[in-house]
Amino acid sequence: MIEVLGILLVVQGIGGFINRIAGSESESWFVQLHLLPPGLHLPVSVAMAVVGGAMVLSAMARQRQRRRR
C-alpha cells in the first residue's frame, strides 16, 4: 500500500512540475495545481516527488530485508 501511495505522489509531483515548466495554463488532473496558489505549484510538486520516491525506496528496502531473514 505504501508503494502505491509513493508512486501516486511521484506521478503527481513530476507531472505537475512538468506541467508548470512547460508553461501550460491547464491544471489538468494534478491535485496540487487545483488546491494551491500558483506560487506554490513548483515547490510542492518537487516535494511530492521527493517524498513519494522516499516512500517507494523505503518500502523496497523493507521488502529486501524481509527476504534476507
Q: Residue 50: its pLDDT value, please? A: 98
pTM as predicted: 0.87
6-60 tens-digit pLDDT: 999 999 999 999 999 998 888 788 889 899 999 999 999 999 999 999 999 999 9
Distance set, CA 1 to CA 5, 8, 15, 40 (Å): 6, 11, 21, 28
Q: Residue 27: its pLDDT value, please? A: 77
Using only C-alpha atoms, what is the Rg of the chain?
14
Three-state secondary structure string covering the chain: CHHHHHHHHHHHHHHHHHHHHCCCCCCCCCHHHHHCCHHHHHHHHHHHHHHHHHHHHHHHHHHHHHHHC
Q: Residue 62: its pLDDT value, please? A: 93
